[in-house]
Amino acid sequence: MCGIVAFIGSRDASPLLLDGLRKLEYRGYDSAGLATVTIRENEKEGFVTCKRAKGKLVNLVELIEQSGAPGHLGIGHTRWATHGKPEEHNAHPHRDASGDIAVVQNGIIENHNYLRQDLEKQGVSFLSETDTEVIPHLISKELQRLLDLGKLPSGSVLLEAVIEVMKLLEGAYAIAVIWSKTPDSLVVVKKQTPLVIGLGEGEFFCASDMPALTGFTRTILPMEDDEMALLTPLGIELYDVNGQRKNRSPLFLSGVDQVIDKQNFRHFMLKEIHEQPDTAELWVSRYLSNDLETGAFLGGPYDAPIFESIEEIQILACGTSRHAGMVGAYLLEQFAGIRTSVFFASEFRYAPPPLSPNTLTIGVTQSGETADTLAALAMEHQRRTSLNNIEFASLQLGITNCPESSLALQVSNILDIGAGIEVGVAATKTFLGQLLAFYGLAINIAARRKSRSRTEIRNLCRELKAIPSQIKDLIKNHNQMAESLAHRFADTEDVVFLGRGINYPIALEGALKLKEISYIHAEGYPAGEMKHGPIALLDQRVPVISIATPGVVFEKVLSNAQEAKARDATLIGIGPKIPETEIFDFLLPIPKVSEWASPLLTVIPMQLLSYYIAAQRGLDVDQPRNLAKSVTVE
Ligand code: M6R
């Protein structure tokens, strides 16, 4: 989704801004722009240069190569259209009428219509359809008021104006503002949308996401909600919304830089599919005890005594993360014996179920920035606090791949899935990491509650230890198989994915993966529901991909598949190569494992098949149309 980068220092700003924006490209965008401030010789005041281009960043780069954007201070933006089409005039930065103030914004200004109408009545003309454009006009008016009072242009005056304007803005947003009259000041604001300041030597950066700072600095100051900062080449001044100074020490990021490198893979998605054995290996080494005989099965942030008293679990997530939550709920209920519900975070925040006692709330988000998930968690915290359910208000667990994200600032117990940066918009290795986190939690709870015998728990742990090498073999064996099967989908317009029990969410995930990157219409269904409607869609043009692994619903899944075959659908199976699975026209074989462990394997052929179908169609697999990697607006 939209990305912000800002710089102030003594180096040329535009190459640094472009470099930062390049590192945010993977998040998805449809136009880009930047603005810088510089001073002409013999002049006191500066001027703003603003360049914007529709489409990929390369268009902006060309524009800047042709006509330049001088200055040591600047702001940059990649825009994912919300208000107004992805056209140049809607790209950020937006400026006031004089062109002296430039603003980039991530988020949504909810009352922009009202503000716009009000400004129009005062004679302001708008050049875009965006919600953002109200901001530079409002700042301009406020600055004029302050100058009329006799104040001289300075960073503090710009800050004062922004504080006043913030009082008028409703919504969740992060903004960065520059003004031609203050060529040594950058003002940034965070309100429920991520923003992090990076501290270099005599220079400062600001970005919506950590990857944009890679290679610039490892010293960071993540901004908190309702915080603003004035950045000059001399330092950072942090303020609250009332203009009161705040102090907080920066953090130093240890570990290796998250390098965004495709290596020899054609797409990031394919690379990330291949990284899954490492994700699983890391999880096994981090969380699965070597000594399964001791009964100390699993580490993780579950040591607080309060975890003993959990009676119920609710999982809040979106998209793929919700599918991981659904597998998690199956494990938690069926393996660990604890009542668990899964919610679309976007629905939960407006229609939560009645409060249940002793409930652990889990937020699952690979990016840790998904607005709906964060808001649902915050709403639940608030709801329990106001009803004096304080202990459980704070008992929230966040499962994420980004432990420096907003989720980690909001939720005290964080489980880091450690999958490394995921660049492809379609989640693959982070899904696997999320699944494993739920296996860990289910095992931990089953051991605590003694809902499973030590032997049962030990057996599942043993299976999980074998998963990394099984995934490795699966990827090796399926690469070619999926690639050649994908050719059969050249003219396919609809696909049905079927699964049951623990593999029903994998059918949903298979359908989501396929539609996201190949734009083929796909439905995931619990196999038993087919005959209640969707079977009407089937004929020889609609392939049916059915997950069939031995277990409680194996025979049922096979007979549901037969029903599809009787309607002439091409049947593709995902399951072990055994006589029963010979009913499939094509089989994508997986090793024979227990039903419990099967989703960790059945998802792999799904990912590969979707990938090859999209790649063969020549589509932009890593940045599919209309999608963003982290969805920071509601
Ligand atoms: O960052 P999150 O895990 O919270 O993201 C949630 C969804 O936006 C995400 O899973 C989306 O569905 C992916 N594009 C799936 O591949």
Tokens, residue 47:
């001027």
Beta bridge partners of 344: 317
Tell me which fold the domain 261-452 belongs to: Rossmann fold (3.40.50)
For position 392, what pLDDT does the model report?
76
Q: Is the confidence at residue 122, as pLDDT, over 80? A: yes
DSSP character for 72?
S
Would you say 195 and 206 are in contact if contact means Cβ atoms under 8 Å apart?
yes
Catalytic residue among 181, 190, 429, 629: 629
DSSP character for 405?
S
**C-beta 632 within 6 A of ligand 1:** no
**C-beta 192 within 6 A of ligand 1:** no
pLDDT tens per residue, range 474-503: 999 999 999 999 999 999 999 999 999 999
SS3 605: helix
pLDDT tens per residue, range 165-217: 999 999 989 999 999 999 999 999 999 888 999 999 889 999 998 889 988 99
CA distance 575 to 571: 12
Tokens, residue 592:
């024979």
Between β-strands 245-246 and 235-240, what pairing exists: parallel, antiparallel or unpaired? antiparallel
Least confident among 90-104, 166-180, 459-473, 521-535: 521-535
Would you say 586 and 569 are in contact if contact means Cβ atoms under 8 Å apart?
no
| Cα 434 to ligand 1 centroid, rounded to whole Å | 12
Look at the block and give the residue holding tokens 């060309």: 62
For position 299, what pLDDT does the model report?
54
Task: Please state at what angle helix 112-121 crosses helix 134-148, rounded to 10 degrees.
Answer: 50
First to last CA, the chain: 12
pLDDT tens per residue, range 314-367: 999 999 999 999 999 999 999 999 999 999 999 999 999 998 888 999 999 999
Q: CA angle at residue 256 from 229 to 321, to 5 degrees?
A: 75
Look at the block and give the residue holding tokens 């069939």: 548
Go through 480-498 and write b for each residue having 16 or more CB atoms within 10 A of its CB, e for each that does not: ebbbebbeebeebeebbbb
**C-beta 496 within 6 A of ligand 1:** no
For position 157, what pLDDT does the model report?
97
For position 297, what pLDDT does the model report?
47
Mean pLDDT value of segment 377-382: 94
pLDDT tens per residue, range 395-434: 899 999 988 788 988 898 899 999 988 989 999 999 999 9
User: If pLDDT is split at 50, 70 and 90, which confidence band does 81 have?
Assistant: confident
Mean pLDDT value of segment 509-525: 96
User: If pLDDT is split at 50, 70 and 90, which confidence band does 303 have?
Assistant: low
| Cα 427 to ligand 1 centroid, rounded to whole Å | 6
Tokens, residue 61:
């780069």
Ranges of CATH 3.60.20.10 domains, the chain = 3-252
Verify whether residue 592 is a known catalytic residue.
no
**C-beta 319 within 6 A of ligand 1:** yes
Phi/psi of residue 154, nearest 5 degrees = -160, 165
Q: Is the confidence at residue 295, as pLDDT, over 60? A: no
What's the CATH code, domain 477-621?
Answer: 3.40.50.10490
Verify whether residue 2 is a known catalytic residue.
yes
Atom of ligand 1 nearest to the CA of 367: 1
Tell me the CA distances in angstroms from 151 to 22, 146, 186, 187, 439, one per residue in order: 39, 6, 18, 18, 61
**C-beta 370 within 6 A of ligand 1:** yes
Tokens, residue 506:
């994998």
Nearest CA to ligand 1 atom 5: 365
DSSP output for 237-301 = EEEETTS-EE----EE--S-------TT-SSHHHHHHHTHHHHHHHHHHHHB-S-GGGS--B-SS
Predicted model pTM? 0.80
Q: Is the confidence at residue 291, as pLDDT, over 60? A: no
Least confident among 224-238, 261-275, 392-406, 414-428: 392-406
CA distance 367 to 193: 13
**C-beta 320 within 6 A of ligand 1:** yes
CA distance 131 to 84: 9
Q: Is the confidence at residue 43, as pLDDT, over 90? A: no
| Cα 400 to ligand 1 centroid, rounded to whole Å | 11
SS3 620: coil
Looking at residue 573, its amino acid is G
- Helices marked H in 411-453: 429-449
Spell out the residues 6+ positions from residue 78 whose beta carbon is closer than 8 angstroms to its own.
2, 3, 21, 24, 25, 27, 29, 31, 32, 57
Atom of ligand 1 nearest to the CA of 631: 8
CA distance 35 to 51: 6
CA distance 454 to 385: 37
DSSP character for 215?
T
pLDDT tens per residue, range 536-590: 888 899 999 999 999 998 998 898 888 888 888 899 999 999 999 999 999 999 9
For position 57, what pLDDT does the model report?
94
Q: Is the confidence at residue 11, as pLDDT, over 70? A: yes
SS3 540: coil
Go through 310-324 and write b for each residue having 16 or more CB atoms within 10 A of its CB, e for each that does not: bebbbbbbbbbbbbb
Ranges of CATH 3.40.50.10490 domains, the chain = 261-452, 477-621
Look at the block and give the residue holding tokens 């693959």: 428
Residue to mutate, 327, 404, 509, 631, ligand 1, most ligand atoms under 8 Å from C-beta: 631
Assigned CATH class of 3-252? alpha beta
Beta bridge partners of 101: 179
